[in-house]
Amino acid sequence: MGSHTKFLLSEDDIPQAWYNIVADLPVPPPAVLHPATQQLIAPGDLEPLFPQALIEQEVSRQREIEIPGEVRRLYQLWRPAPLFRARRWEEALQTPARIYYKYEGVSPAGSHKPNTAVAQAYYNKQAGVRRLVTETGAGQWGSSLAMACNFFGLECQVFMVRVSYDQKPYRRALIETYGAEVFASPSSRTASGRAILEKDPKCSGSLGIAISEAVEVAAQDEQTKYALGSVLNHVLTHQTVIGLEALQQMRLADDYPDVIVGCTGGGSNFAGIAFPFIGRKLRGEQDVRVVAVEPAACPSLTKGRYAYDFGDTAHLTPLVKMHTLGSTFVPPGFHAGGLRYHGMAPLVSHVLEIGQIEAVAVQQLEAFAAGVQFARCEGILPAPEANHAVAGALREAVRCKEEGISRAILFNLCGHGHFDMQAYMDYFAGKLQNYEYPDAEVAMALAGLPSVAA
């Protein structure tokens, strides 16, 4: 296994194609339904929102989807991303585990999100679209899409969840630096935003509300399309560039993961690292355990129901079957903003349902303690979201120590936390609290789920 710490590929090793797990699933994922009729959605129903090429990817069953040359050339700005072995952390933990992490914080926006942002901007540009509109929570997706739109000469509008708009001015400034417009959501620019503000003028917003606003704007303008930074099949497929590189890098390390760990908000970085490995397992090539780590304050996989639900608050999006806390769920203001979404990607929900992955919930104090320990050993300061993956990997490493077994653990360090220092300051000041979503509130939000005939 050698003594190397860093496993690097050359630009020529950037994958030629993304991996689509649908090709290898033993049971196909449930169909997507029209929000008004609850009938099977036709690809044409999505045309107001997405360009044809992305709709085709959304319903594709092809195993490999070629990465366009122009997208691969943009990937070269930061890809291949490095894979590290966390030797100093292993030593500090006195664990027999071999811990590897794939680091996506080397992208210009500091997370995995540009992997899909540049692809989505490319296909929209090809289709002659003039402007993309989207939502953002903490600003990671907004800044990634703003950057990608600017690369391709597209206009970009971002509805930013009000609480982040007020509390995270640096991400907002980054979005504006890349040339995009930012609006606090709920806003008075849309009917869905105005309806919310009428009821609650001080509403702090949610991803579900911001999605409604962005979808509404896109649906009303022919030259404007919508872009989503997670959840959808094509987004997860674009993110598999992470796991496909990691497969090659584990070969360089002369090792193979026994367990893979990723954090889940909408599920895209988790799918990105895990799906290529799960595909090998499904094809009978090599076994692997896979663990999704979610925040205890927004526990869609561990406490949500697997049911048809809307992706947004105003019920403008298609109905998808997913693990959900209900589209009316407004998560508490904990610090991993990127993990505050009521639902989970249908494909991630499906692989949990068919027993291919496990899910655990982690409290934010455990996540930050793990992230600080990791930073002190490895030097990289993880994003608050990524701290959940670090905590999940730590649990596995501790288990190896207790059992006296040396396993290889691979986790995705999906972003750095340089824009999230207030969260770390609050943590050090003892201001962060654990938050368990009360069962009664989960039940209430779930009671509002749409009833869909089987």
Ligand X SMILES: *Cc1c(COP(=O)(O)O)cnc(C)c1O
Interaction site with ligand X (CB under 6 A):
111, 113, 140-141, 230, 263-270, 338-339, 383, 385-386, 414-415
CB 144 within 8 A of CB 104: no
With DSSP H G I counted as helix, E B as strand and the rest as coil, what are the percentages for the chain, rounded to 5? 45, 20, 40
Distance CA 294, CA 62 (A): 30
Q: How far is the CB of 306 from ligand X (least distance, A)?
A: 18
CB 273 within 8 A of CB 347: no
Q: How far is the CB of 414 from ligand X (least distance, A)?
A: 4
Closest CA to 290 of 375, 252, 347: 347
Of 110 and 253, nearer to ligand X (C-beta) is 110
Q: How far is the CB of 347 from ligand X (least distance, A)?
A: 11
Q: How far is the CB of 125 from ligand X (least distance, A)?
A: 23
| Residue 251: partners with Cβ closer than 8 Å, 6 or more residues away | none
Q: How far is the CB of 106 from ligand X (least distance, A)?
A: 12
Distance CA 297, CA 375 (A): 24
Distance CA 218, CA 221 (A): 6
Closest CA to 8 of 72, 102, 84, 82: 82
Alpha helix (H) ranges present in 343-383?
A: 346-353, 364-378
Of 93 and 235, nearer to ligand X (C-beta) is 235
Q: How far is the CB of 242 from ligand X (least distance, A)?
A: 10
Question: What is the H or E stretch that residue 290 is in?
Answer: strand 289-295
Of 212 and 268, nearer to ligand X (C-beta) is 268
Of 161 and 400, nearer to ligand X (C-beta) is 161
Cis bond before residue 438 (omega within 30° of 0): no
Of 51 and 265, nearer to ligand X (C-beta) is 265
Both tokens assigned to 402: 């207790």
Of 112 and 131, nearer to ligand X (C-beta) is 112
Of 95 and 240, nearer to ligand X (C-beta) is 240
Q: How far is the CB of 400 from ligand X (least distance, A)?
A: 25
